[in-house]
Structure 1
Amino acid sequence: MFSYRTIVVGTDGSDTSLKAVRHAASLARVYDAALIVVSAYHGDSGSLLISSPTSDTSTLPVVSEGRAAEYLDEARRVAEEEGAPTIELQHRDGAPVNELIAAVEENEADLLVVGNKGVNSLAGRLFGNIPTETARRSDVDVVLVHTE
């Protein structure tokens, strides 16, 4: 029988990302899988320009490590409400797509869950977006949660 053992999900603290966390936590409960919640932040100071979602300087607004930790605390609450059996929180310094892919690899995850925010926007189509780029680059199953 097929099963997932480790699920990675990303959050940026938004309501839409928390919907993805809720979905991932529910899957973790069903599959009795470990849930790893990732929040990417940018450790450098200064203003950033909009660029592709894979660039190390693409996260707008700039999220501090402390803010990422706050986002993860809220995500833990959501995941616990959904009954995820094991929850690990990771705040990671870097671009969201890069850090999600790295978390999948480092934790030998077999499922990646992301919200679809930006997929249907004009800016997302022109400049790229996190969900599409994550799905394109991932070597494991990806669930795009309809969050908007």
Structure 2
Amino acid sequence: MYLPLVVGVDGSESSLRAVDWAADEADLHEVPLLVVFGTLWERYEGAALARELGRPSTEMKADDILKAAARRARQRHPDLVVTTETVPDEAEHALVRAGRNASMIIVGSRGRSGVADRLLGSVSRTVAALSDCPVVVVRGNHDNRALGGRHDRIVVGIGAGETSASVLRLAFTEAHLRHVPLAAVRAWRCPAHETVDHPLLTGEPARLYEERAAKELEAALEDAPSDVAVGRHTVEGPARAVLPAASAEAGLLVIGRRVHGRLGRVAHAVLHRSACPVVVVPERT
């Protein structure tokens, strides 16, 4: 039995975009979609859903939100198996629990205005930090689609040291299913205190760091499948700036999370600044 994809909804514009993306992703993977509503959301936006149903937002109920979200997903993919669940708990806890028997969780990023849409909501942040399965935070507006559009490539961030097989496996799979290339990005920096006067770095200290990054990148991709076109990119700068920049021309950005319950500085920055959906993959040690 295939594990479902889980999408969290709260009636907001952001969560409805997440439903669209989740429906595409579930159809792509040929798995069911489970739509979850945590009834103890601190607050939610009902304006978008209210317009769809033609009712005041004050009358919106959990059943309305779930039915509208499920209908939206089925309209997008008529053959998709969609189920719904109301959980009497805080949204982040409901989603994390649902993720224990799911292949992936999809959530929207908080957005009540153009400025707020660039910020990350507490639910998205908590789920990304605590989930046992990969979490997609749907950022940007790539036609609200998991597949198609002009941003036809997947980007995966390769960190220093050994990159988890689970991160690369997901990146390869997503690129394969979409028939798009994978761009593997390794950020590198030359420490400021290491100048050309250093006895071991005569002339070109930066070049040595770039070469080291290129070797680590090549080692990480040693077992790349032959059916995915993989581009290798070493970029000077901090990863928390390099990866959001790479997301501008991507349909999906894949990063790892090494510590359960906490997002590192890179993941935190990427989730706040990415121009495309981001999938955070728990790295198994």
TM-score range, shorter chain: 0.7 to 0.9
Aligned residue identity for 2:22: A
Of the three residues 12, 16, 19, the one matched with 2:17 is: 19
For 2:82, what is the secondary structure of its paired residue?
A: strand
Tell whether 2:138 aligns with 1:145: yes
Tell whether 2:74 aligns with 1:80: yes
Of the three residues 101, 119, 122, the one matched with 2:96 is: 101
For 2:23, what is the secondary structure of its paired residue?
A: helix
Unaligned ranges ≥5, structure 2: 47-59, 142-285
Of the three residues 95, 106, 117, the one matched with 1:113 is: 106
Q: Who is 1:50 aligned against? A: none
TM superposition outliers: structure 1 runs of 4+ over 6 Å: none
Aligned residue identity for 1:111: M
Aligned residue identity for 2:35: V
Distance 1:147 1:104 in 2: 23
The 5 A counterparts of 1:46-65 are: 59-60=42-43
Unaligned ranges ≥5, structure 1: 43-57
Distance 1:98 1:147 in 2: 25
Tell whether 2:135 aligns with 1:136: no
For 1:22, what is the secondary structure of its paired residue?
A: helix
Distance 1:95 1:147 in 2: 25
Contact 1:29 1:82 in 2 (8 A): no
Aligned residue identity for 1:37: V
Normalised by the size of structure 2, how large is the TM-score? 0.39
How far residue 147 of structure 1 moved from its aligned partner, in angstroms, is 5.6
Contact 1:110 1:141 in 2 (8 A): yes
Aligned residue identity for 1:139: D
Distance 1:17 1:147 in 2: 13
Q: Tell me: higher relative CO, structure 1 or 2? Use CA pairs within 8 A at least 6 residues apart.
A: 1
Query: For residues 93 and 147 of structure 1, do their structure 2 counterparts lie closer, same or farther at Cα, with a shift above 3 Å needed?
Result: farther
Aligned residue identity for 1:30: L
Normalised by the size of structure 1, how large is the TM-score? 0.72
Distance 2:11 2:19 in 1: 10
Q: Who is 1:9 aligned against? A: 7
Distance 1:5 1:31 in 2: 10
How far residue 60 of structure 1 moved from its aligned partner, in angstroms, is 2.3
Q: Who is 2:39 aligned against? A: 41
- % same residue: 29
Q: Who is 2:268 aligned against? A: none
